[in-house]
Structure formats: structure tokens, C-alpha cells
Amino acid sequence: MSEDIYSLLRMAQGGDKDAAGRLIEENSGLIWSIARRFFGRGVDPDDLYQLGCVGFLKAIEGFDEGYGTKFSTYAVPKISGEIRRFLRDDGMVKVSRGVKEQAQQIRSARMALEQRLGREPTISELARETGMSAEDIAFAETATGPAESLQRETGEDGFTLELVLGDYGAEEKLVEHVALRAAIEKLPERERQVVALRYYHGMTQQNCAKVLHVSQVQISRLERRAVDELRKMLS
């Protein structure tokens, strides 16, 4: 990324609307390329573009040069996430009955446990209460919750599953939770657990290590291996 764009980003983050406008103008091609992926879903293309611009502005606000990635790479999941959020809230993203039933069961279990424990239950406690795996709980909540699933940032670095996978040519596969779930289910159990905890529940590697009773170094290795495998399966 050029120093000029860095300068514009800093200015925009400081509240300079002209700088933000210039960034949108210079990246309109990127925004349109993502908006086009959602054509044919009953929303006017210009409206999709405007939603993409909202996501782009959120990317400006949240970007940190310390992430060590290009701004455009960081912006892609923010742009697509904003559009998906609208589609989901507008009822245009369909979720299977089975997943909806699982989500309802999880919500009921969460409420019961909160009353019983006097606090937010852990994933392990929800799993025991519902008889589901931690991964199933993560997927059900993701599919029926806000459309931020794959854009949810991990605790310590602001990265997301889409950003880490980095293959936006396969984004339509990522958008479909069933396809992503199928890919993750092919991972070994430990790697599935790490992906669920890190990218669906936003845990830091340190907290993952505590939950799974392994070292942080092991979590790092498991995560790296899982991401490499997902890249291969979704490419």
C-alpha cells in the first residue's frame, strides 16, 4: 500500500470526510466487485453498492497498520459482511429448520444456565446441557445470528476467518455456512475445536489453551494447520 493511501487512511480515521470520500472513490471498483456477488437477490445494485460503502467506512475505522496486511484485504470481509447483514436482517438468507431448532435449543439452555449459575455459561457447559458439540453450538449460533459470523474478530489481532483464509475467489463458498461447515467437519477434532473457539467465539489463543488444556504454542500450531487445510478445501 502506498504512503499516500496510508496518509488518507490516517486522515479519514481522524474524521476527515474528504479523505474518506477519496478512499471510497479510489476503491469503488473493489466495492462494486463484491456487491456484484449479491446481484439477483431482490436488492437494487445501487443499494448493494451503498451497503458496501458502509462496510468500507467501517473498515477504515477499524484498520490498523500493525495488522501487517493490505487495507484492501482487510476491507473485503467488512464490505461483504455489511451486505450479508442486510440480506439476513431482511430475511433473504435462508437457514434450515434443523439449524433453527438447534439455535432455539441453545438459547433455551443458555437462559436456564444463566439463571442457575448466575453468569454467562461457557461453551463446555452449553455442550453438556444440550448434548451438542462445541462446534455444532458455534455453527448454529453463527447461522441464525447477525451476519458477522466469519467477520468476527479474534481477541488479540483483529483478524477474521475470511481474512486469515484470504481466498476471496471462494467467497461464495464461505458465504454458504453449510459449505464452510462441511469443510471444517473434515478437520481433525482438535483443529475443529480451535477454529470454533477462535473464529466463532472470538477467543484469544491463550484462552483457547485454557479451555482445551494445552499450551498456547500447541493452539498456534493447530490453528495454522487448520487454516492451511481449509484454504486447500475451499480453493
Which ranges of the chain would DSSP assign to H, the alpha helix? 3-13, 17-26, 28-35, 45-62, 71-89, 97-117, 123-130, 134-144, 161-165, 171-175, 177-185, 189-195, 205-212, 216-234
- Domain locations in the chain as residue ranges: 1-93, 94-143, 146-235
Cβ neighbours of 119 (radius 10 Å): 9
Residue 157 phi/psi, 5-degree rounding, is -130, 0
Indicate the DSSP class of residue 198.
I
Supply the CATH classification number for the domain 146-235.
1.20.140.160
Asked whether this chain's domains 1-93 and 94-143 adopt the same fold, the reply is no
Whether domain 94-143 has CATH 1.25.50.20:
no
CA distance 195 to 187: 10
Using alpha carbons, select from 215, 214, 203 the residue that is nearest to residue 159: 203
The CATH class that applies to domain 1-93 reads: mainly alpha
pTM over 0.85: no
CA distance 175 to 84: 8
Q: Which three cell numbers stand for residue 70?
A: 493490505
pLDDT by residue, tens only, the chain of 235 residues: 454 788 899 999 999 989 999 999 999 999 999 888 888 877 888 989 999 999 999 999 988 877 777 888 888 888 888 888 888 765 444 555 676 788 889 889 988 998 898 877 777 788 889 998 766 776 666 555 544 444 444 444 444 555 555 443 333 433 344 456 667 778 888 888 888 777 766 677 887 888 788 888 899 899 889 888 887 776 6
